[in-house]
Amino acid sequence: MKNISSITKQLNDKLIEIRKELHQYPEISEQEYETTRRIKQWLSEAGCTIIPINTKTGTVAEISGKKQGPTVAFRADIDALPIQEQTGLPFSSKNESVFHGCGHDWHTTIALGAAMVFSQIRDQFAGNVRFIFQPAEETTQGAKTLIDSGLFQDGKIKGIFGLHNQPAIPAGKVGITEHHLMAAVDTLHITIRGKSGHGAIPHQNIDAVVAGSAVVMGLQTAVSRNIDPFEPVVITIGSFHSGSAHNVIAGSAELWGTIRSFSPNVRKQLPELIQRITTEIAEGYGAEAKAEIIPQVPAIQNDPVMTSIVREATQSVLGKDAVVTPEPTMGGEDFSLYQEHIPGCYFWVGTGDSEKGIDKPWHDPAFLVNDDLIPSTVNLVVEILLKSLKHFQTKEKGE
């Protein structure tokens, strides 16, 4: 039996080199061509099988154990952000205005490390592990692309796991919960039609700016008066475009916003409510309005059994006190789309360390991750996948 920690230790220098290379050459969502090429190279060098999947970027690899058994998966996101890096790191981004400001280079490294470990312990497990290197997480398009390209088509993947670094949680701790973690995201598009005319004769025209403003305010109260106060919802109108001259009443307005929620039931209720409030308020001003809700991703819904596997693995790799209950966020994460197909658990690995300056939130131009945690996180991912293989193996036998 090979000891997993000692394999990871041997891999550590190589993994740190990989992380730095990924960091220096970040690519934004759907443009991860070079990143994908390098990931495939590293995987092939490690003896992993690349599973053909028809997407522009991203890849899936498989490592099979000596004995047959179930298949489980780990997903890492690989894309960067259109931000100019301000970390001052010696291996800062060489790509102008593109930056791994969310640590997806770190996630990719962890997945590669775990894949390398599995390729060295084939005689120590039954079944298969798949590593999903997902493009375009930042635009919430990547998971959908992979699923549409047949990720689950062969029906083999029984359980899926994914992680994110979390500077708000101290290094050495892992945030795990089967309750709210990350929200459902939907896009809101509102168009308002009034009647344009001279700014001095409002009574002969229909002011789309005034009607639109009333709609924005109405939507805020709509949530507080119609949705269970124990169910958080955010409606943010981030863009309001109307009018072209200071002395002309605007005849139309276009608004874009984002809707965040946790409960699937509340998410279902929201379109009808928003449409009603929007059209009726606008009508009160004599204007016509239309609200369209464009679904993006559901909320993270962690499976209780998969979550208990992550919890047990964390305690055995990082210690009894390593598990903490995370503060949820209204941010979204397209890992939830996988959870619509198979049970999964998405969790946060604490990277916070103010002495090392690792305290900036995701997407901050000076955002940092913690390379010292690469080996322990690789060990954690390997342990989670081994435990889940055993779980599904016992389940298969029982059936």
Residues in the interface with Ni ion (CB under 5 A) total 1
The 22-51 site mask, x for binding Ni ion (CB under 5 A), equals ------------------------------
In the bound complex, which residue of the shown chain has the CB atom lying closest to Ni ion?
A: 102
Decide whether 102 or 111 has the Cβ nearer to Ni ion.
102
| Cα(133)–Cα(158) distance, integer angstroms | 18
| Cα(211)–Cα(217) distance, integer angstroms | 10
- Which helix (H) or strand (E) element contains residue 295? strand 288-297
**Site for Ni ion contains 102 (CB under 5 A):** yes
CB 127 within 8 A of CB 70: yes
CB of 348 to Ni ion, least distance (A): 11
Decide whether 199 or 328 has the Cβ nearer to Ni ion.
328
* Interstrand relation of 184-193 and 288-297 (parallel, antiparallel or unpaired): antiparallel
Interacting stretch for Ni ion, rule CB under 5 A, among 19-27, 56-64, 95-103, 214-222?
95-103
* Residues facing residue 49 across a β-bridge: 62
Decide whether 282 or 369 has the Cβ nearer to Ni ion.
369
CB of 102 to Ni ion, least distance (A): 3
| Helices and strands (H, E) in the chain, number of each type | 9, 14
How is residue 340 annotated by DSSP? T
Decide whether 73 or 102 has the Cβ nearer to Ni ion.
102
Decide whether 118 or 335 has the Cβ nearer to Ni ion.
335
Amino acid in the structure at residue 332: G
CB of 279 to Ni ion, least distance (A): 36
Look at residues 278, 259, 224, 388 and name the one whose alpha carbon lies nearest to residue 332.
Answer: 259
Look at residues 388, 373, 367, 243 and name the one whose alpha carbon lies nearest to residue 312.
Answer: 388
| Cα(279)–Cα(261) distance, integer angstroms | 22
CB of 164 to Ni ion, least distance (A): 6
Look at residues 333, 294, 276 and name the one whose alpha carbon lies nearest to residue 186.
Answer: 294
Which positions from 274 through 303 interact with Ni ion, judged by CB under 5 A?
A: none
Interacting stretch for Ni ion, rule CB under 5 A, among 101-109, 140-148, 229-237, 269-277?
101-109
Decide whether 46 or 76 has the Cβ nearer to Ni ion.
76
CB of 256 to Ni ion, least distance (A): 22
Decide whether 182 or 266 has the Cβ nearer to Ni ion.
182
List the beta strands (DSSP E) in 137-178: 157-170, 174-175
Q: Is 361 left (phi over 0), alpha (psi -120 to 50) or beta?
A: beta
CA 57 to chain centre: 17
Which positions from 229 through 268 interact with Ni ion, judged by CB under 5 A?
A: none
Interacting stretch for Ni ion, rule CB under 5 A, among 97-105, 127-135, 148-156, 209-217?
97-105
| Cα(192)–Cα(212) distance, integer angstroms | 7
Interacting stretch for Ni ion, rule CB under 5 A, among 96-104, 198-206, 258-266, 300-308?
96-104
Decide whether 134 or 242 has the Cβ nearer to Ni ion.
134
Interacting stretch for Ni ion, rule CB under 5 A, among 99-107, 151-159, 223-231, 378-386?
99-107
Residues at the site binding Ni ion, with contacts judged by CB under 5 A: 102
